[in-house]
Amino acid sequence: MEQIKVLIVDDEPLIRHALSTILATDQGIVTVNSVQNGQEAVTYCEAHEVDVVLMDLQMPIMDGIEATKNIKSLEDSPEILAITAFSSDDYLVPVLVAGASGYLVKDTEPGEIIKAVYSVHNGSAAISPSVSADLITAVRNVQRTPQDTADLIDDLGLTNREMQILGLLSEGFNNTETSRRLNISEATVKTHMAKIFMKLEVRDRVQALIAATRLGLIEIPRDA
C-alpha cells in the first residue's frame, strides 16, 4: 500500500514531535520531513513529493497563510491541512482563501488528526468541530447572478455599508482592520455586524460568511 507522504510545519519542536508520533501510529501515513517555518515548507515542497502538509499558521520568517499561497501555486501541489491553536475565523478565512483544504485546532484528538489527513488526501474537507465544516463548501462553491444578488440585497435590507463590511469579512478582515479600512470606529463596525447577523439570521461572523456566500451576496477572493 502506498503511504500518504506528510510534511509537518511548525515552529515548536514539541508540536512537530507530537504530530510525528501521532502519524507514526498509522501504517498508511509516513512523515517525510518536519520544518520550522513557512519558507522551509515552500522550499521542501518545490523539491520533493508531498501529499499533505500539516501547516501551523503563526510562524517566523513566513507564516502559514503565505506559505499555503506559495505551495498551492506549485504544479501538482499537495493538500494543505492547517493545524493551529486558534479556532477564530480571523485565521480560518484567510487560510481557506489561500487554498487550504482543512482546518484543525491543536487539541484535536489524535485519531481525528489521522482521519483528517486521509480526508484531505482524498479530496474532502476536514475541519475541527469548533468551526463550521460548511464554510469550506461555501468558499469552494460560489455562484453569483448579478441581478438576483441586487434584488436579494434589497429584499434583505442590507445597506451599502453593511455590504462593504461583508466584503471585507470575505477577505479575512477582523473588526479592527475593518474599522481602519473604512475609517469608522470599531464600535460602529460591531453595530453594523450585529445588524448583519439579524438580517441574515445568524449568530456570528463565520455563520454570516457562510450565509452571505451561499446567497451569492459576496464572493470569496481566490488567488490566481
Q: Please, where are the H alpha helices in the chain?
A: 13-23, 38-47, 64-72, 89-98, 110-121, 134-140, 146-156, 160-170, 175-182, 186-200, 205-214
CA dihedral over 4, 51, 124, 38, signed as positive or negative: positive
Amino acid 224: pLDDT: 35
Q: Which whole-number Å values give the CA distances from 217 to 85, 147, 181, 210, in the listed order?
A: 31, 11, 20, 10
- Domains in the chain (CATH in brackets) are 4-129 (3.40.50.2300), 146-214 (1.10.10.10)
Cell matching residue 80? 494543505
The pTM score is 0.67
Cell matching residue 8? 509537518
Which residues contact residue 193 at a Cβ distance below 8 angstroms, ignoring those fewer than 6 apart? 165, 175, 205, 208
Residues composing the chain: 224
CA distance 76 to 51: 9
Q: Please name which of 28, 35, 39 lies closest in space to residue 7, comparing C-alpha atoms.
A: 35
pLDDT tens series, the chain, 224 aa: 689 999 999 999 999 999 999 999 999 999 999 999 999 999 999 999 999 999 999 899 999 999 999 999 998 899 999 988 766 666 777 787 788 888 888 778 899 899 999 988 887 667 776 665 556 665 555 555 667 778 888 889 999 999 999 988 877 788 888 999 999 999 999 999 999 999 988 777 767 877 787 777 876 655 43
